[in-house]
Amino acid sequence: MTVSAIEFSRLGPPKLRLYGMRCSGCGGISPWWEKFHCYKCGNDKLTEVFLDGRGTLTNYTVVYYPPRDFLGQEPYVVGHITMDEDVLMPAPVVDTALEDVQVGTRVKATLRRMKLGHEGDIYYSQKFVVDPAAA
C-alpha cells in the first residue's frame, strides 16, 4: 500500500505491513489493491491477510525515464515478485547494483519513501531488498 507521510507517522510501521486479499472461495490471494474480485476465480468475498513479505524475483525491468512522481530515483529496478503466498507483486527493488539484480533472487519487503506527490508531499510504500537470510 502507499501512504502519505502524515498517515505514515499516524499509523506507524506495524500497521503498514504488506498484505493481500484472501478469497473465501478458492483460498487464493490477490494483490492488496484488488478489493472486489479474486484474480483466480472471480469471487467477491475477499479479506485482508498479512503477507510474510518474502518472495522471489520472477521478472524485472530497469526504469530510465520515470513518471514525474519518481523523478530523481532513476535508474531504478521495478520487479515482479512472486510472494511466498503465491501472489504477484510489482514493486521497486532497491539497495542493489543494477548489474546484480537477477531473476530468481530472494527478496523481502521493506517500508521506504516511495515518491513525491504533486504538492511536494512524501509517500511511503513497500519496496524490496535482497533477502539477507537467503543471500
Residues that bind Zn ion (CB under 5 A): 23, 25-26, 28, 38, 40-41, 43
Minimum Å gap between C-beta 112 and Zn ion is 31
Minimum Å gap between C-beta 100 and Zn ion is 36
Minimum Å gap between C-beta 36 and Zn ion is 12
Q: Which is nearer to Zn ion, 23 or 81 (CB)?
A: 23
Q: Which is nearer to Zn ion, 36 or 50 (CB)?
A: 36
Paired residues of 74 in beta bridges = none
Minimum Å gap between C-beta 126 and Zn ion is 23
The DSSP code sequence of 5-37 is HHHHHHH-GGGG--EEEEETTT--EEETT--SS
Give me the amino acid identity at 108.
K
Minimum Å gap between C-beta 19 and Zn ion is 16
- CA 19 – CA 53 distance, rounded (Å): 8
- CA 115 – CA 20 distance, rounded (Å): 22
Look-up: residue for cell 486479499?
Answer: 21
Q: Which residue spans within the chain are E strands per DSSP? A: 2-4, 19-23, 29-31, 46-50, 54-63, 76-83, 88-93, 106-116, 122-130
Q: Which is nearer to Zn ion, 42 or 75 (CB)?
A: 42
Q: Which is nearer to Zn ion, 23 or 89 (CB)?
A: 23
Q: Which is nearer to Zn ion, 41 or 98 (CB)?
A: 41
